[in-house]
Amino acid sequence: MSLLRVGDKAPDFTVQGVLYGETADYSLSAYKGKWLVLFFYPADFTFICPTEVTGFSKMAKEFAAESAEIFGVSVDSLDSHRSWAEELGGIDYPLLSDEEKKLSRAYGVLDEKEGVSLRATFIINPAGEVSYVVISHVNVGRSVEETLRVLKALRTERLCPSEWQPGEATGDLRLKY
């Protein structure tokens, strides 16, 4: 499948993930009506990925305050996620295992040659549509703060200029989700 675009229906999924050492099934459909930040990363136990994974964890309460759930996704196993989360001191959102690479393919972010997910972020609105997508080179970590800023801007349902921050002026056009 090709890369998803803004406005596309986000592909549903059901995969296993690890949260606080426990394994459970996670699906997009279970979060209907909520905002979802779905971020893909290449691999556990690497140099850049822990900065992003722990960055999202440190800001998990701020995302929750925006009625958003966070899922981190890589092609690593559940055991790898469990060990890595423990090594990182705990993660406050599920790490999803995409060992079969179906989820990465469905979202168009699997590097087939390397067999890993690209560094990609999707914000999915309560209607289950992609509202934001960013893919960067695997050598460059994403900004968790920027992801949160964009989520807040999307939630205003208004026009938000570059570098907009909550409380600042917005444009008149109002979008509904």
Give the residue numbers marked as catalytic. Answer: 49
State the CATH number of the domain containing residue 146. Answer: 3.40.30.10
Which of 108, 90, 91, 110 has the alpha carbon at shortest distance from 41?
Answer: 110
Structure tokens at 23: 């394994």
Domain of 139 in residue numbering reads as: 14-156
Which of 175, 70, 176, 177 has the alpha carbon at shortest distance from 126?
Answer: 177
Report how many domains make up the chain.
1
Q: Is residue 74 part of a domain?
A: yes
pTM: 0.89
| Cβ atoms of 76 and 43 closer than 8 Å | yes
Q: Is residue 69 part of a domain?
A: yes
Give the three-state DSSP class for 49: helix
pLDDT digits (tens, 9 = 90+) for 87-139: 889 999 999 999 999 999 999 999 999 999 999 999 999 999 999 999 988 88
